[in-house]
Amino acid sequence: MSKNSNHLSGKEVRAIAKENKRVIKSLEAYKNRKADESEYLGHMSDQNNILEIDNLHTYFFTEQGVVKAVNGVSFNIPKNTTVGVVGESGCGKSVTSMSVMRLIQGPAGQIYSGSIRFNAKEKNGESKVYDIAKMPIRDIHKIRGNQISMIFQEPMTSLNPVFTIGQQLDEVSFIHDPNATKESAKAKSIEMLELVGIAMPERVYNAFPHELSGGMRQRVMISMALASNPRLIIADEPTTALDVTIQAQILDLLRDLKTKIDGSIMLITHDLGVIAEMADYVVVMYAGRVIERGPVKEIFHNPLHPYTIGLQKSKPTLDSDSDTLFNIPGNVPNPVNMPNYCYFRERCSQCTKKCSGDYPDMVEVTPNHFVACHLYGGEDK
């Protein structure tokens, strides 16, 4: 592709298609292989973490070329904490979470490389560390919807409209407990509905999804996510589709539940207000990479990366006439053709000579506060 155009010649299109086919074939074979568990068991680098994402690359092989949606992402989720993942639309938040759940749609979408280590607790109390990225897809039931569960933005698309809430909730018990009976499954479902603050659980149990309000459906989804006693809940924009009062109730509920289930939450949002209220740690993503991460207080009171500083400045306020959160001028580079230098350079008002060089390394500036920006690396620190 010429540098200044998005136009591809017929020859280039054929070359891309050929290369895509070759790479996808080998990644699909790896995903569909049968493997002994020992092939994907590993060790946590820190036993206090529930999840360690290490240099994850998740790509989409398109006719235009390879979209590096997640391009070397690393961060940890410690036990009993909420980690907020923030960044503007398209920066790779959902692709990161879908990679952890192994829900990336093949053949075009593939985890290309990296590790996703998960500290699992088996029913017999034994601890095991699974590298989710290396697990054959046939073995993923060991963790998905079981040790890790997910809450999506729009509950209506995740609930089946032709079954009652009770039937769908009971199903979770039947999947996870081979000894479950009709009665025990119903008792557990009612208990879960009560746990998420539903006052008339019998009525909701017998209702169809369309008979409930948006906030109620999201409560049901949360109860479903909890039914398997997960160690990690991934919530991808769980309140975006709800109005403000209901949003606050759902966030309160999630905060409460973290303590009740003794687990961790990965909370994806583009709303810095939600992050400030909910998260212990924050991960800031930009164009498929983590550009800053650290404890919530540090990120809010001492943001380091010019992008994080820009995000905070672009927060809507009562006197601003903008209602968009992300209004930093300029564009993200073309995802098919990422440069070797800092991806934020074209939008950065602080760039120096060094910024034309290699992509900046991640450096730890204060304990646990990391940033990838030349202003804080080497001699410039």
Binding site for Mg ion (CB under 5 A): 94
Write down the least CB distance from residue 42 to ligand ATP, Å: 25
Q: Does 119 bind ligand ATP (CB under 6 A)?
A: no
Q: What backbone torsions phi and psi does residue 119 show, to the nearest 5 degrees?
A: -85, 95
Q: Does 205 bind ligand ATP (CB under 6 A)?
A: no
If the CB atoms of residues 94 and 264 are measured against ligand ATP, the closer one turns out to be: 94
If the CB atoms of residues 193 and 284 are measured against ligand ATP, the closer one turns out to be: 284
If the CB atoms of residues 67 and 291 are measured against ligand ATP, the closer one turns out to be: 67
Q: Does 330 bind ligand ATP (CB under 6 A)?
A: no
From the list Mg ion, ligand SF4, ligand ATP, none, which binds 86 (C-beta under 5 to 8 Å, kind-based)? Answer: none
Question: In this structure, are residues 337 and 328 in contact, taking their beta carbons and an 8 Å threshold?
Answer: no
CA distances from 42 to 116, 126, 347 (A): 10, 14, 40
CA torsion, points 203, 198, 80, 52, in degrees to nearest 10? 50
Bridge partner residues of 370 (DSSP): 293, 364
Rounded CA-CA distance 137/33 in Å is 8
Question: In this structure, are residues 120 and 127 in contact, taking their beta carbons and an 8 Å threshold?
Answer: yes
- Per-residue binding string, ligand ATP, 74-103, x by CB under 6 A, is -------------x-xxxxxxx--------
From the list Mg ion, ligand ATP, ligand SF4, none, which binds 348 (C-beta under 5 to 8 Å, kind-based)? Answer: ligand SF4
Q: Helix, strand, or coil here: 312?
A: helix
Residue whose C-alpha is closest to residue 95's, from 363, 289, 329 = 289
The gap from C-alpha 100 to its chain's centroid, in whole angstroms, comes to 7
Q: Does 344 bind ligand SF4 (CB under 6 A)?
A: yes
Can you give the length of the chain in residues?
381
The gap from C-alpha 129 to its chain's centroid, in whole angstroms, comes to 19
- Per-residue binding string, ligand SF4, 303-342, x by CB under 6 A, is --xx-----------------------------------x
- Residues contributing to the site for ligand ATP (CB under 6 A): 60, 62, 67, 69, 87, 89-95, 105, 108-109, 270, 335
- Residues contributing to the site for ligand SF4 (CB under 6 A): 305-306, 342, 344-345, 348, 350-351, 355, 360, 373-375
